[in-house]
Amino acid sequence: MSLLAPEWTAILYLIAAVCFILALKGLNSPRTARRGNLIGAAGALLAVVTVFLSSRLENIPLILVAIAVGSAIAAPIARRVQMTQMPQLVALFNGVGGGAAALVAVLELGHSLDAWVRVAVVFTMLIGAVSFSGSAVTVAKLQELITTRPVIFPGMRWVMTAVLLASIVAGGFVVATGSAGWAIALLLLGLAAGLLLVLPVGGADVPIVISLLNAFTGLAVAASGIVLGNLLLVVAGTLVGASGTILTRAMASAMGRGVSGIMFGAFRGGSTAGSTAQSDRPVRSSGPEDVAVLLAYAQRVVIVPGYGLAVAQGQHTIAELATTLAARGVEVDFAIHPVAGRMPGHMNVLLAEANVPYESLKEMAEVNPEFKHADVALVVGANDVVNPAAKSSPGSPIYGMPILEVGQARQVIFLKRSMRPGFAGIENELLYDPKTSLLFGDAKDSLTKVLGAVNAL
């Protein structure tokens, strides 16, 4: 009862694949990004309609109900979620996609398949399961359901090795026999591997892991396309796998890290671990009133927002502070580090949401020469992205990462929760500089107090 001839099906799938390519292409530039995303969605819709028209399907009512349920769950969450929680949501969607790919592969195993297709089944199940459980861990870390610090236990490396070897053995049995029991064992091993892979990753590196798992899910989808003999899945999955890999590398290099260092650093007892040690060197701590005076009587203020601002949900308060200062005749700019926030580009989204005009958001290359003309650099909840160690000490884990040169401003004010080092776990010399003053506390509370003090002047 299929309504479409195979040739038409293939052509419609080809159009959908082209839509996906145009979608990724469109996402390259802010002007075309939204349209690109819509083209991608249109391609997906076309593909789903095509599959209903082209295959001989049973259970169509139940499938439609399942689609309705999935949409009814996902769309409202996607619409309402706080923008600060958006990375978790992307991770969540990525994880369920990986899970779906793994389930599809398991179910296909019941059909008689060539041995080489069963290799694709094994690959889909393993990678899909890794992506599912790995994404679950990233969600838990970002939501702070579990610690954001690397979780490592003695012998973890050996457990990981054992799990990987066992996966190869189980995968071999699945290829040879097609047995369901081995397939379930393989799924469980994949889930364990995902946990072991992501638990040792420190909080600051989690976004890169999300991107990597995103590429993984793409590869799992591509492999599932081989299993089902569906070229659209092969093309779409491969596109995501390839672009996701490039994106992961680009994100890692913007943070001055290597991908393998992030994934395996903690296993080697290396760089992602981060220390919680606090130094007892003297710093100049000041009150909200002092900060207010410095800001209100400055000519130029550059605000450097960071992760702490996003966590404290302080973006609306800082937008208000910027407006208030501007009304007093102070020139206010925001300096956005490429990796400010939770993910590259995240801070732009957060500040855009708080209605900070786009013109006052300046990118690093544009704003760095301007710091020397600034009276005050106000660093809110950022640390590593302004740490001069990235330029001056070659031994430092962040050495080579481009930074915002706030040290060139006449005065530097840090709003920080504590003297704890940033996620990279390294001391920031700038905190001890005589021209630096610190206001401790939650970013939003501190900003509210400073705003009140400015208004009272």
Partner 1 sequence: MDPITLLTVVVLAVFVGFEVVSKVSSTLHTPLMSGANAIHGIILIGAIIVAGQTTETGLLVVALIAVVLATANLVGGFVVTDRMLGMFRGRKPATDAGEGTK
* Residue 79 vs 329, nearer CB to partner 1: 79
Tell me which residues in 203-232 interact with partner 1 (CB under 8 A): 210-211, 214, 217-218, 220-222, 224-226, 228-232
In 3D space, the residue among 110, 88, 101 whose CA is nearest the CA of residue 187 turns out to be: 101
1 binds partner 1 (CB under 8 A): no
Q: Taking a C-beta distance cutoff of 8 angstroms, is the pair 227, 105 a contact? A: yes
Count of residues that bind partner 1 according to CB under 8 A? 115
Is 384 one of the annotated active-site residues of the chain?
yes
- Of the candidates 63, 106, 332, 318, the one whose C-alpha atom is nearest the C-alpha of residue 224 is 106
Of 108, 205, 405, 427, the one binding partner 1 by CB under 8 A? 108
Please give the sequence-ordered ranges of beta strands (E in DSSP) within 146-278, or none if there are none.
none
Please say which residue, 71 or 260, places its beta carbon nearer to partner 1: 71
What are residue 281's phi and psi, to 5 degrees? -65, 150
Site for partner 1 contains 427 (CB under 8 A): no
Determine if 101 is a binding residue for partner 1 (CB under 8 A): yes
Listing DSSP states for 91-154 in one string gives HHHHHHHHHHHHHHHHHHTTS---HHHHHHHHHHHHHHHHHHHHHHHHHHHHTTSS-SS----T
CA atoms within 13 A on the CB side of 147: 10
Which residues between 19 and 38 bind partner 1 (CB under 8 A)?
A: 20-21, 23-25, 27-31, 33-34, 36-38
- Cβ pair 49, 79 in contact under 8 A: no
Selected from 172, 178, 345, 441, the binder of partner 1 by CB under 8 A is: 345
Verify binding: residue 56, partner 1, rule CB under 8 A: yes
φ, ψ at 139 (rounded to 5°): -60, -45
Taking the C-alpha atoms of residue 451 and residue 444, their distance in angstroms, rounded to an integer, is 10
Among 148, 243, 323, 408, binds partner 1 (CB under 8 A): 243
The reply to whether 358 sits near partner 1 by the rule CB under 8 A is yes
Residue whose tokens read 């064992």: 185
- Comparing CB distances to partner 1, the nearer of 79 and 158 is 79
The answer to whether residues 337 and 403 touch, using CB atoms and an 8 Å cutoff, is yes
Contacts to partner 1 from residues 109-128, by CB under 8 A? 110, 116
Toward partner 1, which CB reaches closer, 289 or 353?
Answer: 353
Catalytic residue among 205, 290, 375, 384: 384
Does 400 help bind partner 1 (rule: CB under 8 A)? no
Side-chain-facing half-sphere of 321: CA atoms under 13 Å: 32
- The footprint of partner 1 on residues 127-186 (CB under 8 A) is none
Angle, alpha carbons 133-134-137 (nearest 5°): 90
363-392: which residues touch partner 1 (CB under 8 A)?
Answer: 363-366
Nearest distance in Å: CB 251, partner 1: 6
Q: Least distance to partner 1 from the beta carbon of 307, Å?
A: 14
Distance CA 5, CA 111 (A): 24
Site for partner 1 contains 14 (CB under 8 A): no
Q: Which helix (H) or strand (E) holds 334?
A: strand 331-336
- For tokens 């007093």, the residue is 328
Task: From 95-103, 301-309, 382-390, 405-413, give the range in contact with partner 1 by CB under 8 A.
Answer: 95-103
Q: How far apart are CA 262 and CA 256, in angstroms?
A: 11
Q: Which residue has tokens 């070659």?
A: 394
338 belongs to the binding site for partner 1 (CB under 8 A): yes
Position among 233, 304, 380, 403 found at the interface with partner 1 (CB under 8 A) = 233
305 binds partner 1 (CB under 8 A): no
Question: Which residue lies nearer to partner 1 by CB, 174 or 364?
Answer: 364
* Active-site annotation, residues: 384
